[in-house]
Structure formats: structure tokens, C-alpha cells
Structure 1
Amino acid sequence: MPKLEDLIELALAAGREIMAVRAAGFDTQTKLDGSPVTLADQRAEAVIESGLAKLAPGVPMIGEEAVEDGRIPECGARFFCVDPLDGTRGFAKGGDEFTVNIALIEHGEAIMGVIYAPATGELYAGDPGHAVKAQCDIATATLATPLTPIQAAPRPAQWRLVASELSGRNPETEDFRTSVNAGALVHASSSIKFCRVAEGAADLYPRFGNVSEWDAAAGHAILSAAGGGIIRLDGSPLRYGTNPGDFLVRGFVAYSNEDAKAAALKALR
């Protein structure tokens, strides 16, 4: 099996592809579900798929673009879950909030994950009991600072919420914020929201709306390594690959600690 450092290197390589496409210019197409896709998505996923095949021969990969193309392998007890470019909509508009997400799933649990933001150089990674972050050189997509341990925050005086820039501006999210008596809501795009909870900058990340498993898996692994976790809106743990062919997550709440989880469960009742 690959080590966390192997997945970090693969995420950085995918980031180089994305930034090369951005520098050269690209067109945006629309997939059947109405979401955008670019050459950067496709090239980044190709780099990741090829790299994982060498690192872990025979372990299947569930990738966003592969699934769109109808290439859906049997997940089995162990598989990789990949979003090569999370935040394509913002990327296509010239924004900087997009990430490369790579996760390893074992028996339904996200146990290893990497999130890399090529335009800002932020890198987060985690495996059991070991969550880290680093700053990367944007031009070369190489580590510019050492990997530094991170940990989700203990209970604060008032809960701090982060939510999606688009889907987080809805009545359900505002009702949740009110129910947990949280402060002002901070909005962000892409999977960096999970990292904000993992590094102690936020305590809860509610998502009322559908996402795909590859949108959450890497962040889930990092957050779990930092002491937090994710529950579905019915309070059950979020697991992966349990519904063959259906990779939709119908909402969730990411939390920093058991107190935050309890507050989320109370608000969801």
C-alpha cells in the first residue's frame, strides 16, 4: 500500500498538470449532469490514475471523470476515491479555490487522504492519528515548508461554522447555525472547508445538499486524523462504496470533536 507521502507527491503532480492547463488556456465543457469539466480535470485524473496503478496494483480507483465515462470498477474492501479537480466551476472562472483530492478507503472508511490547492499552495494530508499541513511553492508544486501536525480545536466559547460558497447560502444552513448558536458563517469553496475544521479554524461544516463521495473522502480522512469526523444528516456515520454504482452523499455535517458532534445531532433532530 502507498504511504501518505506517496499520495502527497501524486497530488502535487496532478496540481502541476492543472496549473499547466490554466497557463495555456482551456475551454470548458458541460457534462450530462450540468456540471462543468475541463482539460485540467481530465489530465489531472490521468496522472493520478496512472500513479495509483503503480503504487497499488490491482486496487481500483473511483474517479469523478472515470465514473462520468462509465468506467466504474468493483470497489471491494479497498479502493481509492479521487476528485482530480474539486471546484471546477470556480477554476473555469479564473478563481483560486480549487483542490486535488485523493483518498484511500478501507472497509467503507476514509483512512488516508490528501487535499492540495494548486493556486494557493495549501496542502493538507492525514492517515490514522497523523494529520499535517504544509505550504507549497506555487510555481513548482513542491513543499516549501515542512509538514506540520494539525489538530481539530476543542470546544470553543461559541461554535464556528464554515459552509459552501454556493450551497451554504440557504435556509437549512442558516437554521442549523441558529440551532447551534454559532457565530457568523464563513463561506469557502472546494474541499478546503474540511481542512479548516481539521486545523482548528472552524468547528462545524454543514452541507444540506447532494455531493459525491469523491468530494468528501479526502477531507474526511484528514479530519478523522485530526480528531474530528463526519455524520450524515440522519446522524449515521458517513461510509464509502457501500452502495454499488451510487456515489451520492445526501448531505452531511463535518465536526471537530465529540461536543461539536453532539451539538450537530441535536440541531438535526
Structure 2
Amino acid sequence: MHQAKAILADPKLLKALQQLVHQAGEAIMQVYQTTDFGIETKKDDSPVTKADLDAHYLLVDGLAKLTPHIAIVSEEDPASQIVPQTHNCYWLIDPLDGTKEFINRNGQFTVNLALIEDNAPSFGFVSTPIDQTLYWGGKHVGAWRLRDNTLEQLHTQASQTPMRVVASRSHLNEATRNFIANLGDTALIQAGSSLKLLRIAEGEADIYPRLAPTCEWDTAAAQAVLEGAGGKVAQVDGSPMQYGKADILNPHFVASS
């Protein structure tokens, strides 16, 4: 928590970090408006585009200048993934979360920047480049959304009936369907990338079961925002999410208000 509180206590640094995440979103939108995304396939068969890499370099360079004392882990730099073995505080970046959504041009993609301290996200920034909305927050510091020059503090809402369940457009597997069926009266809300966690933070959804693979950089930033808004993200058995594991894959989890 030490670094998260230090960032909040320094309005100049907070603003610079917000601008950096916003600039990464602008770099993504510059590619989005072209006809050639420069799509390649990574070793794990997932796609990567020019936008992923442009945002990655912009964020890494900016963070190195703003917070030279904090190490950096990025999805687009495999070598950086050994950092958690020797650092208990580091930035965790997903420069473009929702690359498939980006390629499909459906607007459901985000920039994720999380501060990991002692194996948990203490602070996070998420931007939605398509409408230039910026979210930030952390478990002990609150959560905010800046949209169209309007700043609002975010709070989760008490569960409603029917229960509003967020599910992925592309990962609604049988385990998830069974989980949702056991909740009783539900209404399904579709969202892509880390937007699913943000919908709960905004009070627009109640629960998000994720019983399919995700990586730590997919969830960390939005988890911090959701926890700042009063929500919770836990493994299916109720234990806390762990960050900085040797295996970057998350266990199945449930996010709730």
C-alpha cells in the first residue's frame, strides 16, 4: 500500500500517470482508424497488433521516467515476467486488453495499468480508448471515473433482483452457464475485456463469475478499481487472488459488489 498512497499524495504524479494511460489509449485509436492493424500471432496463439506494441512502448517509457524506482511487467515483454520473483512492488501492464475485441472493431477494449504490492493490486488505472473514459482507484483509497470532463466517485450497489450477471461475449462456457443457472433469477449483461469488472464498480452489475482462463494483467487494474468502489474479487473458494505467481494464469474467480 505504501506506493499507492504515495501516488495519491502526489497530485502531480497522479495526473502524469492519468495522462500517460490516456496517451496509450490515443496511440491505440490511431491504429484503430487505419486499415492495417499489423496482426501477428504470439507463441501462445493469441493475436498481437501494432496497437498493443505502440501502447506497450509508450507506457514502459513513460513509467520509467515517472517512477524509475518501480519495476515494470508487461504482457508484451515476456522477459519482464521474472520481475515478481525479486520485487514485491511493480507495475503490471496490459497495454491493450481485448485484442480480439479491437480486431473485431467492437470498441470493447481497455488499457490496464496496475500497481502490485505484496502480491495484490493496490492501485489501478483503466482507460476505455473508444470514449476516452478513465477509471482509477484502489482498495484503501476509493475509486473514480472521469468521463466527458465529469469526475465521479464510484460505489458498488446492493445486489438487485433479478441478479445482474456480467458474462464475456467470447467465453460463456458450460461451467459459467451452470454457475449462472444456480443463481436463480438473473439478467445477463454482456461486456468485453476488463469492462466486466468495471460494470460492477459502476453499480451497473452485481456479479461476474470467470470460470475460464485469464492472466494476471487482464484483471489487476480493474480489480483495484472495483475494490476501491467497495466490491470484491476472490477465487471460487473465497480465498484472495494472488499476483506475482510463477504461473501468470489466474485461478477461476468471482467478482461481486
Partner AA of 2:112 in structure 1: N
1:5 to 1:158, Cα distance in 2 relative to 1, 3 A = farther
Q: Write out aligned runs for 1:164-183 (5 A).
A: 164-167=168-171, 169-183=172-186
- Give the whole-Å Cα distance in 2 for the aligned partners of 1:227 and 1:159: 18
The yes-or-no answer on 1:93 pairing with 2:104 is yes
Q: Report what 1:14 is aligned to.
A: 24
What is the TM-score of this pair, normalised by structure 1? Answer: 0.86
SS of the residue corresponding to residue 102 of structure 2 reads helix
Check conservation: 1:42, 1:65, Cα contact below 8 A: yes
Deviation at 1:236, TM superposition (A): 1.0
Deviation at 1:235, TM superposition (A): 2.0
SS of the residue corresponding to residue 32 of structure 2 reads helix
Q: Report what 2:40 is aligned to.
A: 29
Check conservation: 2:22, 2:132, Cα contact below 8 A: no
SS of the residue corresponding to residue 233 of structure 2 reads strand
Q: Write out aligned runs for 1:108-123 (5 A).
A: 108-123=119-134
Q: Deviations over 1:180-207 (max 9, x none)?
A: 2241211211111111000100010111
The yes-or-no answer on 1:207 pairing with 2:216 is no
Q: Write out aligned runs for 1:119-158 (5 A).
A: 119-127=130-138, 128-135=140-147, 144-158=148-162
Q: Deviations over 1:71-112 (max 9, x none)?
A: 334221111111000011121122211100001011112111
- Give the whole-Å Cα distance in 1 for the aligned partners of 2:115 and 2:80: 18
RMSD: 1.5
Check conservation: 1:129, 1:226, Cα contact below 8 A: no
Q: Which of 80, 87, 105 in structure 1 is aligned with 2:116?
A: 105
Check conservation: 2:73, 2:83, Cα contact below 8 A: no
The yes-or-no answer on 1:240 pairing with 2:243 is yes
- Give the whole-Å Cα distance in 1 for the aligned partners of 2:110 and 2:83: 26
Deviation at 1:234, TM superposition (A): 2.6
Deviates more, 1:52-61 or 1:195-204: 52-61
Deviation at 1:8, TM superposition (A): 1.8
Check conservation: 2:25, 2:132, Cα contact below 8 A: no
- Give the whole-Å Cα distance in 1 for the aligned partners of 2:255 and 2:229: 12
- Give the whole-Å Cα distance in 1 for the aligned partners of 2:185 and 2:241: 23
1:206 to 1:182, Cα distance in 2 relative to 1, 3 A = farther
Q: Which of 194, 198, 201 in structure 2 is aligned with 1:198?
A: 201
Q: Report what 2:251 is aligned to.
A: 250
Partner AA of 1:22 in structure 2: Y
Partner AA of 2:153 in structure 1: P
Q: Report what 1:216 is aligned to.
A: 219
The yes-or-no answer on 1:162 pairing with 2:172 is no
- Give the whole-Å Cα distance in 2 for the aligned partners of 1:108 and 1:188: 27
- Give the whole-Å Cα distance in 1 for the aligned partners of 2:133 and 2:26: 14
- Give the whole-Å Cα distance in 2 for the aligned partners of 1:199 and 1:39: 31
Deviation at 1:232, TM superposition (A): 1.1
Q: Gaps (5+ residues) in structure 2?
A: 9-13
The yes-or-no answer on 1:5 pairing with 2:15 is yes
Aligned length: 243
- Give the whole-Å Cα distance in 2 for the aligned partners of 1:92 and 1:113: 25
Q: Which of 218, 229, 232 in structure 1 is aligned with 2:232?
A: 229
Check conservation: 1:14, 1:47, Cα contact below 8 A: yes
Q: Which of 41, 46, 60 in structure 1 is aligned with 2:52?
A: 41
Percent pairwise identity: 38
- Give the whole-Å Cα distance in 2 for the aligned partners of 1:63 and 1:32: 16
Partner AA of 1:27 in structure 2: G
